[in-house]
Structure 1
Amino acid sequence: MGVGRRCAQGRSVGAHVSQRELGCAEHPSLALPFLPSSNTPIYQKDVKGHFGCVNAIEASLDENYLASGGDDRRVLMWNVASVQADEQPKPIAIMRQTHYSNIFSVAFSNRCERLYSAGNDTSLLVHDISTLCMLQRFKADEAIYNVATNPIDDTVIMSASEDGRVRLYDLRAGEETIAVRNQGTMYCAQFNPRQANLISVCNGRDGLSIHDCRKLDRPCFRLGEPSDGHWNRGPNSVMYGQWSDDGDAIFATRSQSSPIYYNLNDGSSVEFNDSGYLNSCTVKSCSFISHDLVMTGSDDWNIYIWKIPQIRPRGQRQMVDEAYRVLKGHRSIVNHARYSAHNRMLFSSGVEKIIKVWSGLELQGYYNNPVRRSMLSRPLTGEPRNDDSTEEDLNMLAFFDLLTTNGGEEEITDMDEDDDDTHMGDNSDDDNWLAFARIRSRAPHQGSTMYVISSPELSEAELLSVDNPSEHDDWENAASSSNDGEPD
Structure 2
Amino acid sequence: MLGGNPVCALERRSLAGRGLHVSELLDARLEAASGLYHRDLVAHYGCINAIEFSASGALMASGGDDRRVLVWDVARTLSGGRHPVVPMVSQHLSNIFCLAFDAAERRVFSAGNDKQVIVHDLATGAAVDVFTEQQAVYGLSVDPCRENVFVASCENGRVLLFDLRMSLAEPHSLAEQGSSLAAYYSAMFSPSEPQLVATANSKTGAAVYDVRMPGRVLQRYGACRYGAMSARYSSDGRRLFVLRRRLPPVLYDLMSPTSPICQFDHPFYYNSCTMKSCCFAGSRDQFVLSGSDDFNLYMWRIPDNPETKRVSRAHAVLRGHRSIVNQVRYCPQNGLLASSGVEKIVKLWSPVQLPDSEGGLTFDPETERSSRRIPRQGEYVDMVVNAGDIFGNDFNQQSTDEDPRMLAFFDSLVQREIETLTTETDSSTEEDGAPSRRRGDSSDETADFHSYFAAASDLDNDPTDGCAGVSCPVDNIISRMIDIKRSQLMRAARLRWRRAAGVPASSDEETAADGFHSRHRRVLHKARYVWLPLGGAEVSSRYTARAPPAAASSDDSDGAPAEAAGAPLTNGNTKDNFSRLNRRDFRRRNYRRRH
Per the normalisation by structure 2, the TM-score is: 0.62
Shift of the 425–301 alpha-carbon distance from structure 1 to 2, 3 Å rule, reads: closer
Structure 2 counterpart of 1:162, one-letter code:
E
2:473 paired residue number? none
Note the 1:121-270 alignment, pairs <5 A: 121-174=114-167, 175=169, 176-182=171-177, 183=180, 184-225=182-223, 236-265=226-255, 268-270=260-262
Equivalent position SS for 2:30 = coil
1:63 lines up with 2:53 in the alignment: no
1:36 lines up with 2:30 in the alignment: yes
Query: Contact conserved, 2:253 with 2:260, CA < 8 A, in 1?
Result: yes
Structure 2 counterpart of 1:375, one-letter code:
I
Note the 1:21-420 alignment, pairs <5 A: 29=23, 32-33=26-27, 35-39=29-33, 42-86=36-80, 89-174=82-167, 175=169, 176-182=171-177, 183=180, 184-225=182-223, 236-265=226-255, 268-290=260-282, 291-313=285-307, 318-368=309-359, 369-370=367-368, 371-377=370-376, 378-379=379-380, 380=383, 381-382=386-387, 383-384=389-390, 385-387=393-395, 388-407=398-417
Shift of 1:281: 0.6
Equivalent position SS for 2:217 = coil
Query: Contact conserved, 1:412 with 1:424, CA < 8 A, in 2?
Result: no
Query: Contact conserved, 1:84 with 1:357, CA < 8 A, in 2?
Result: no
Rounded Cα–Cα distance in structure 2 between residues aligned with 1:158 and 1:413 = 41
Of residues 517, 535, 539, the one that matches 1:422 is 539
Rounded Cα–Cα distance in structure 2 between residues aligned with 1:32 and 1:319 = 26
1:377-427 deviation per Cα after TM superposition (whole angstroms, max 9, x unaligned): 2233414433410111011100100100111869779899xx951166779
* Larger gyration radius, structure 1 or structure 2: 2
Rounded Cα–Cα distance in structure 2 between residues aligned with 1:415 and 1:203 = 33
Equivalent position SS for 2:27 = coil
1:444 paired residue number? none
Shift of 1:85: 2.2
Structure 2 counterpart of 1:73, one-letter code:
R
Note the 1:4-23 alignment, pairs <5 A: none
Equivalent position SS for 2:269 = coil
Shift of the 425–187 alpha-carbon distance from structure 1 to 2, 3 Å rule, reads: closer
Rounded Cα–Cα distance in structure 2 between residues aligned with 1:362 and 1:42 = 9
Equivalent position SS for 1:78 = strand
1:228-252 deviation per Cα after TM superposition (whole angstroms, max 9, x unaligned): xxxxxxx611000010000000111
Equivalent position SS for 1:81 = helix
Shift of 1:210: 1.0
Rounded Cα–Cα distance in structure 2 between residues aligned with 1:263 and 1:324 = 21
Query: Contact conserved, 1:411 with 1:425, CA < 8 A, in 2?
Result: no
Shift of 1:265: 3.6
1:463 paired residue number? none
Equivalent position SS for 2:305 = coil
Query: Contact conserved, 2:96 with 2:111, CA < 8 A, in 1?
Result: yes
1:5 paired residue number? none
Say which structure is richer in helix. 2
Say which structure is richer in strand. 1
Aligned-residue identity in percent: 35
Shift of 1:342: 1.4
Shift of 1:41: 5.3
Per the normalisation by structure 1, the TM-score is: 0.75
Note the 1:457-468 alignment, pairs <5 A: none
Structure 2 counterpart of 1:282, one-letter code:
T
Rounded Cα–Cα distance in structure 2 between residues aligned with 1:318 and 1:360 = 28
Rounded Cα–Cα distance in structure 2 between residues aligned with 1:163 and 1:27 = 47
Rounded Cα–Cα distance in structure 2 between residues aligned with 1:297 and 1:274 = 12
1:36-80 deviation per Cα after TM superposition (whole angstroms, max 9, x unaligned): 334355211111000000000001111001000000000000011
Rounded Cα–Cα distance in structure 1 between residues aligned with 2:212 and 2:538 = 49
Unaligned stretches of 5+ in structure 1?
Answer: 1-15, 17-24, 227-234, 429-488
Shift of the 296–423 alpha-carbon distance from structure 1 to 2, 3 Å rule, reads: closer
Shift of 1:225: 3.3
Structure 2 counterpart of 1:389, one-letter code:
S
1:82-114 deviation per Cα after TM superposition (whole angstroms, max 9, x unaligned): 22221x510111111111110000111111111
Equivalent position SS for 2:243 = strand
Structure 2 counterpart of 1:271, one-letter code:
Q
Query: Contact conserved, 1:270 with 1:320, CA < 8 A, in 2?
Result: yes
1:261-281 deviation per Cα after TM superposition (whole angstroms, max 9, x unaligned): 001245542111111000011
Equivalent position SS for 1:355 = strand
Rounded Cα–Cα distance in structure 1 between residues aligned with 2:125 and 2:195 = 31
Query: Contact conserved, 1:66 with 1:78, CA < 8 A, in 2?
Result: yes
Structure 2 counterpart of 1:421, one-letter code:
E
Deviates more, 1:237-246 or 1:360-369: 360-369
Query: Contact conserved, 1:105 with 1:145, CA < 8 A, in 2?
Result: yes
Shift of 1:362: 2.6
Deviates more, 1:330-339 or 1:262-271: 262-271
Query: Contact conserved, 2:528 with 2:544, CA < 8 A, in 1?
Result: no
Give the count of matched residue pairs.
391
Structure 2 counterpart of 1:399, one-letter code:
F
Rounded Cα–Cα distance in structure 2 between residues aligned with 1:27 and 1:251 = 27
Rounded Cα–Cα distance in structure 2 between residues aligned with 1:129 and 1:420 = 41
Rounded Cα–Cα distance in structure 2 between residues aligned with 1:240 and 1:354 = 22
Structure 1 counterpart of 2:176, one-letter code:
R
Structure 1 counterpart of 2:183, one-letter code:
T
1:444-484 deviation per Cα after TM superposition (whole angstroms, max 9, x unaligned): xxxxxxxxxxxxxxxxxxxxxxxxxxxxxxxxxxxxxxxxx
- Alpha-carbon RMSD: 2.7
Rounded Cα–Cα distance in structure 1 between residues aligned with 2:21 and 2:143 = 19
Structure 2 counterpart of 1:170, one-letter code:
D
